[in-house]
Amino acid sequence: MARVLVFQHVPYEPLGLLDPKIRALKHRIRYVNFGREPKAQVNLDNYDALVVLGGPMNIGQESVYPHLTQEQVYIRQAAEKGIPILGICLGAQLIASSFGAAVYPAASAEIGWQPIKLTEQALEDPVFSGLRELSRVFQWHGYTFDLPANAVRLAENDHCLNQGFKIGENIYGLQFHLEANLALIQRWLRLPQHQSEMANMGQSGAKLYAEQVWKDTLYHYDFARHAADRAFSAFLSLLPQVSRVVQLKHR
């Protein structure tokens, strides 16, 4: 049983597909919700993995969300301790920034199912090789980032070059939402705060755009779910096999 620390930023962006994978292995999950506890403190010595989830805030908004600065401190500490780290969307941007890369607005947002291409390095990677047959992934982001100097690019597309990367042997960043299940996607499409973002994606308006994304979801989701299962299983295999035995005293 390992202990997984999860940095969450908003309640509507949880672990998604990753949650049952972690629980099936009998690992323990601790959420730290910085939206509710912006000054939360953690001791990384108590954990065996770190997952940093997405959120609507961005690098550069530290004056409004000061926890973004503290999260990067924790990410660097986790890296120094050799703790496996997985960052998704904002989480990937936080990892990139933690290692000195610039994070900035993309030319335009990516929302919905967008093309993705794995690099040659990804095909040899234990985690990303599980995505080798995946041609589209679910996206919801308006920022992008440069590749950290010590990182290896694993996924890309024509819109945002750095869609996935790896640092060392156990730090992964995913710009896309591999964790998104059907319930999460449906919820995101209905959130009031997301309507203006979808309205800016074309001439059809938010309602029609959401309807098209949902149609695309029903077409692509099963394939993406199986790919996510392979990739997340491979990442979780990086966690230590922790056995905690309690010895009872003889009476």
pLDDT at residue 183, as a whole number: 98
**How far is it, in rounded angstroms, from Cα 24 to Cα 208?**
38
Residues 6+ apart with CB under 8 A from 53: 6, 7, 8, 9, 13, 14, 15, 88, 89, 90, 91, 179
**How far is it, in rounded angstroms, from Cα 237 to Cα 25?**
10
Taking residue 131's Cβ as centre, other Cβ atoms within 10 Å add up to 26
Whether this model's pTM surpasses 0.85:
yes
Taking residue 57's Cβ as centre, other Cβ atoms within 10 Å add up to 19
Give the burial class of 31: count Cβ atoms within 10 A of its Cβ; 0-12 exposed, 13-18 middle, 19 or more buried: middle
Each residue of 70-105: pLDDT tens digit? 999 999 999 999 999 999 999 999 999 999 999 999
**How far is it, in rounded angstroms, from Cα 128 to Cα 121?**
9
Closest CA to 59 of 25, 103, 28, 22: 103
pLDDT at residue 241, as a whole number: 73
pLDDT at residue 243, as a whole number: 52
pLDDT at residue 246, as a whole number: 38
CB 229 within 8 A of CB 17: yes
pLDDT at residue 204, as a whole number: 83
The residues assigned a catalytic role are 89, 177, 179
Can you list the residues of the chain whose pLDDT is less than 70? 242-251
pLDDT at residue 242, as a whole number: 57
pLDDT at residue 245, as a whole number: 44
3-state SS string for the chain: CCEEEEEECCCCCCCCCHHHHHHHCCCEEEEEECCCCCCCCCCHHHCCEEEECCCCCCCCCCCCCCHHHHHHHHHHHHHHCCCCEEEECHHHHHHHHHCCCCEEEEEEEEEEEEECEECHHHHCCCCHHHHCCCCEEEEEEEEEECCCCCEEEEEECCCCCCCEEEECCCEEEECCCCCCCHHHHHHHHHCHHHHHHHHCCCCCCHHHHHHHHHHHHHHHHHHHHHHHHHHHHHHHCCCCCCCCCCCCCCC
Each residue of 156-166: pLDDT tens digit? 999 999 999 99
pLDDT at residue 223, as a whole number: 96
Q: Which domains does the chain have, with CATH numbers?
A: 3-236 (3.40.50.880)
